[in-house]
Amino acid sequence: MFARIYKPSRTAMQSGKAKTEEWVLEFEEEYAKRADPLMGWTSGQDTRAGQVRLTFETKDQAIGYAKEHQIPHQVIEPSSGKRTLKAYSDNFATNRRAPWTH
């Protein structure tokens, strides 16, 4: 039973920062998933891996919970994305690298 502690990133359909401010503790899978022979669905024996997801306000709370319950864990630090500030008028600037084409 190994756990990952991380701060989730935005989804592809998300432009805001909802659900990205909390820290998440998720368990890794202990057993490999297998296909059900009758229906073909993917199933597994470990219910903690896919169904248990704990959220915490701070990283220290998540680490404290893992240590209190003697759960081996790995902390994955969030990467800060580089923001490029652009203005619509930059499309029509005279000092562009390449000329504006349609």
Question: Mean pLDDT for each consecutive 10-residue tract of the chain (102 residues)?
Answer: 89 80 89 84 76 92 96 91 81 76 62
* Contact call for residues 44 and 18 (beta carbons, < 8 A): no
* Contact call for residues 38 and 13 (beta carbons, < 8 A): no
User: Domain total for the chain?
Assistant: 1
Is residue 23 domain-resident?
A: yes
pLDDT at position 100: 65
CATH number for the domain harbouring residue 37? 3.30.160
Q: What global pTM score does this model have?
A: 0.68
CA 102/CA 40 separation, integer angstroms: 49
Is residue 97 domain-resident?
A: no
Is residue 64 domain-resident?
A: yes
Is residue 98 domain-resident?
A: no
Is residue 101 domain-resident?
A: no
